[in-house]
Structure 1
């Protein structure tokens, strides 16, 4: 039986995780065969292991670019002009948050001409999460505007579909009665909160009593790939020994975020997704020159309290809890997507339309997130193992 061939172009672990949410919409369809490939990328060293864990059919990049496919999916632009297939491009994070200053190539990452039409070749479809992005698209690459589809955001939908399971996620993490969870989040780059972890981590360990608080770190996979897993674990080894939980790059961080009582973050996607959870947010870093001023990250940076180096951390956490108003963050989280709850419906329709075959005759369900595993560092540390 002839099958339609679908290619997933996985540049990095972050891109791969985003594509897995999309590929789930093609499950159980015997008319399709999914292939994966990994183009060269500066942060792609962990991709082969990521794909091996999936048990997927992986084609070498040179072979994949010499073949023809019925559909291709990519969450990053590098090299995709060499793919012979109708291509859907998607953002790999929340909205389009980062501003890039690269001379003639300056602009909003993901919405610049070289991002939308690498090598001068336009894709078959450009998926965007919010209708407001169409204005920037019309300005930077107007020829891509007719190809744009407002699809929504899969992470937004998975998180909102899972909020009612918060208590179950906390039990799965081993949080005891009355224990509070502080999640420190970092994107990548010199101005991310990871660049300030040498000052923040000792405070998380020394200022928060172990009987009341658990701490977990969510560090962008590009940090792990750029510095190497050995180096990151080496930097954080003392923290693990003292009981801090490190969420590895291959783990699903979204249920950990839902379980948080506080989020200490920066200008990255994970911090923005944190506005969906109801947890008060403290910003450890928010470099104005790296933030798209039209994005919800800019609004969050102007509104969320900034971490103070001089006041006790526990006092700051108590303060932001007292001051937190969910209604003040609702306009920020609503900018993540203008199609809340409809990513699966919109994206499946687009994919099957390009494939030229009918969709399965059932509603594409948004599946709640699975229980998280306790991160490394919680099994041992501060002289006490979790139950």
Structure 2
């Protein structure tokens, strides 16, 4: 999209000459990454059916952007505004699940996390090589701009995160709303869909092993790339099926063709695309082998047996879901019998889930209602009388050619 071509949409001084539904409150979803986009699509499901609301999307950029983000947004079939047009208008509500470019948008901002918890598993920023100061998603430099607190509502998962915020950016505490985790609530609500998800994956009666990786050099895919072929080829395919869930940034940075080529030797591997399907795949799983990423944390939270293939240097950040998983899950040993390691993971799974859940959310199964109320408050609209429910995870659809 050319930067100087604006969309003839429902905003602007002459919008009244073209809209069919006049007087709608305008909502802008800011999508800098596919990861943020998937979280915002979940959030938008709580209000986009309202006849009083008009939702729009934008992909921010300055001199660069993550590959594949605009394609992801277009695939949602929402109205996509050029970044320059979005930044030039004021909206009734701005939704974000990333800190990028938030100082440039106008309107009351609701900011939520894009992973499990606002205290990340990594202690140091990926952008600062040799960093010695731990970072969180609640640091002042992320939440303020020139002394101004950016979010009008900051969605947090737990009261413990409020205390982290009080230490890191106390001026933002009035914006904090402990809302739990919408993604986790949706996964919990979809437990009854497990067999449907397994049928979509073509698992049958076999046990499903999911190999989960975040991105960067300390991830499972970064440190133990041979794990994928070793496990897919070692487990008997009459008893086991294997799926891979890779962070969207792995695909964005390296490209789909290259990632596919790297995984081409993995017999029968079901590769889950980055846009959707990982939540359902985790629900369908019998055993998850992962790292400090959010997908592994969510798997642990819904009671899946977990084995750790990789951790960041040292130990995960204290207070993070990843640190709780590290404390209970055993490390993967590719030279030891895999089925014995699965049994060990199964034995500790109930305790792991019990320890992870209160770190991920202290508003279990309540997030949809809390978040919807917060959005309608910012929109200055009366909230619908119907109950708010978390969206159920989409059906998993492995990439073609990987389910032999």
Same fold (TM over 0.5): yes
Q: Which position in structure 1 is the counterpart of 2:186?
A: 158
User: 2:272·2:396 contact (CA, 8 Å) conserved in 1?
Assistant: no
Is the Cα contact below 8 Å between 1:43 and 1:226 reproduced in 2?
Answer: no
Deviation at 1:350, TM superposition (A): 0.6
Corresponding residue number in structure 2 for 1:270: 295
Contact residue 325 and residue 352 of structure 2 kept, 8 A: no
List gaps (5 residues or longer) in structure 2. Answer: 1-21
Corresponding residue of 2:40:
19
SS in 2 for 1:335: helix
Contact conserved, 1:64 with 1:83, CA < 8 A, in 2? yes
- Equivalent in 67, 72, 97 of residue 89 of structure 2: 67
In structure 1, runs of 5+ residues without a counterpart are 381-387
Residue 279 of structure 2, aligned match among 249, 254, 266: 254
The counterpart of 1:7, out of the listed 16, 28, 35, is: 28
Q: What displacement does 1:130 show?
A: 1.1
Residue 350 of structure 2 corresponds to: 326
In 2, Cα distance between equivalents of 1:119 and 1:269: 31
The residue number in structure 2 matching 1:80 is 102
Distance 1:107 1:121 in 2: 23
Tell me the distance in 2 between the aligned counterparts of 1:70 and 1:26.
Answer: 13
* 2:386 is the alignment partner of 1:362: yes
> Are 1:76 and 1:89, in contact at CA under 8 Å, matched by a contact in 2?
yes
1:383 matched residue in structure 2 = none
Over the aligned positions, Cα root-mean-square deviation in angstroms equals: 1.9
Is residue 52 of structure 1 aligned with residue 74 of structure 2? yes
2:164 to 133, 136, 139: 136
User: Is the CA contact (8 Å cut-off) linking 2:116 and 2:321 kept in structure 1?
Assistant: no
Which structure has more helix as a fraction of its residues? Answer: 1
8 Å CA contact 2:25, 2:54 repeated in 1: yes
Following TM superposition, by how much is the alpha carbon of 1:346 offset from its aligned partner in structure 2, in angstroms?
A: 0.6
Deviation, 1:94, is 0.4
Distance 2:249 2:65 in 1: 6
Aligned to 1:235: 262
Q: Provide the rounded CA distance (Å) in 1 between the counterparts of 2:25 and 2:133.
A: 38
Structure 1 residue 120, shift from structure 2 partner: 4.0
* Aligned-partner SS, 1:332: helix
**Corresponding residue pairs, total:** 376
State TM-score, norm by structure 1.
0.92
Distance apart, 1:133 and its partner CA: 0.3
CA displacement at 1:253 relative to structure 2: 0.9
User: Would you say 1:180 and 2:202 are equivalent positions?
Assistant: no
SS of corresponding position for 1:93? coil
